[in-house]
């Protein structure tokens, strides 16, 4: 059996898949793909030209799956333990909602408004648009963090009493927020800040963050 994840580790969507694999103790390899200049063979398996894509060599061709949510659902069914999706139908739907919230509104706010400016642009030897970063931090992100602060409340996890795909996805977006040089304001959002620290201390997250941080810091210092 060989599971291959195509993408770059700094992508929150690639990290999402890697965290799911790590939580389940699944062996896999990563083949780096630059999403800004993908090779033709990658475009053949990624119709939307996005990372990640998973290839399961146990399956006959075509054996590639694009999209992080599709991949995580596949891994959940292929390796059901420990479960990362609740069995209860309502709780499962809630977990999928938080996944969608993180993959959509959080991603399109933190990504272009902070991470792309302060990390990706530095990788490309360009200067960040700090005016855009300031607007993201003062105007766009606060309502999103207000919502997450309310939703996490006094709970350890977003759904039920267990770590789920909701925590994987929200957690990975918060990693890129921190990679962009920011931290969740513990005075304004104390529950969300504490939640992020707990989630990022899990071995599945911690190992990835420790590998990524030196690379990010090098680019940001350039």
At 44-94, the pLDDT tens digits run 999 999 999 999 999 999 999 999 999 999 999 999 999 999 999 999 999
Pick the range with the lowest mean pLDDT from 130-144, 182-196, 206-220: 206-220
- For the cut 90, the answer to whether the pLDDT of residue 117 exceeds it is yes
Where in the sequence is the domain holding 69, given as residue range(s)? 3-78
For residue 216, what are its two tokens?
A: 């990010």
Burial of residue 59, with CB atoms counted within 10 A of its CB: 0-12 exposed, 13-18 middle, 19 or more buried: exposed
Domain boundary among the residues 54, 78, 102 is at 78
pLDDT in tens, 7-29: 998 999 999 999 999 999 999 99
84 falls within a domain: no
Helix (H, G, I), strand (E, B) or coil at 69: helix
Domain boundary among 35, 53, 78: 78
Q: Is residue 162 part of a domain?
A: yes
Specify whether 152 is located in the same domain as 96: yes
Instruction: For residues 194 and 58, give the distance between their C-alpha atoms in angstroms, rounded to a whole number.
Output: 41
Instruction: Name the nearest CA neighbour of 113 among 137, 90, 89, 77.
Output: 137
Choosing from 78, 104, 121, the residue where a domain stops is 78
> How would residue 113 be classed by pLDDT, with cut points 50, 70 and 90?
very high
Q: What is the pLDDT of residues 193-208, one digit of tens each?
A: 999 999 999 999 999 9
- Name the domain count of the chain: 2
Distance, C-alpha 100 to centroid of its chain: 12
180 and 94 in a single domain? The answer is: yes
- Buried b or exposed e, range 74-90, using 16+ CB within 10 angstroms: bbbeebeeebbbbeeee
Is the pLDDT at 124 greater than 90? The verdict is no
The CATH number of the domain holding residue 217 is: 1.20.1050.10
Say whether both 17 and 123 belong to one domain: no
Is residue 47 classed exposed, middle or buried when 0-12, 13-18 and 19+ CB atoms within 10 A define those classes? exposed
């Amino acid at each position: 059996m060989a599971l291959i994840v195509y993408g770059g580790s700094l992508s929150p969507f690639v990290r999402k898949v890697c965290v799911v694999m790590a939580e389940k103790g699944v062996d896999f390899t990563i083949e780096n793909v630059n999403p800004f200049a993908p090779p033709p063979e990658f475009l053949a398996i990624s119709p939307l030209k996005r990372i990640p894509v998973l290839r399961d060599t146990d399956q006959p061709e075509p054996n590639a799956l694009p999209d992080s949510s599709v991949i995580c659902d596949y891994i959940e069914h292929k390796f059901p333990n420990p479960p990362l999706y609740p069995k209860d139908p309502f709780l499962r739907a809630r977990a999928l909602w938080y996944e969608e919230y993180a993959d959509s509104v959080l991603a399109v706010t933190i990504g272009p408004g902070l991470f792309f400016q302060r990390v990706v642009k530095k990788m490309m030897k360009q200067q960040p648009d700090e005016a855009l970063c300031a607007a993201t931090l003062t105007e766009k992100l606060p309502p999103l963090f207000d919502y997450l602060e309310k939703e996490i409340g006094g709970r350890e996890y977003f759904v039920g009493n267990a770590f789920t795909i909701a925590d994987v996805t929200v957690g990975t977006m918060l990693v890129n927020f921190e990679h962009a040089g920011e931290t969740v304001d513990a005075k304004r959002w104390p529950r969300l800040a504490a939640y992020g620290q707990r989630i990022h201390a899990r071995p599945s997250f911690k190992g990835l963050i420790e590998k990524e941080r030196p690379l990010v810091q090098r680019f940001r210092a350039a």
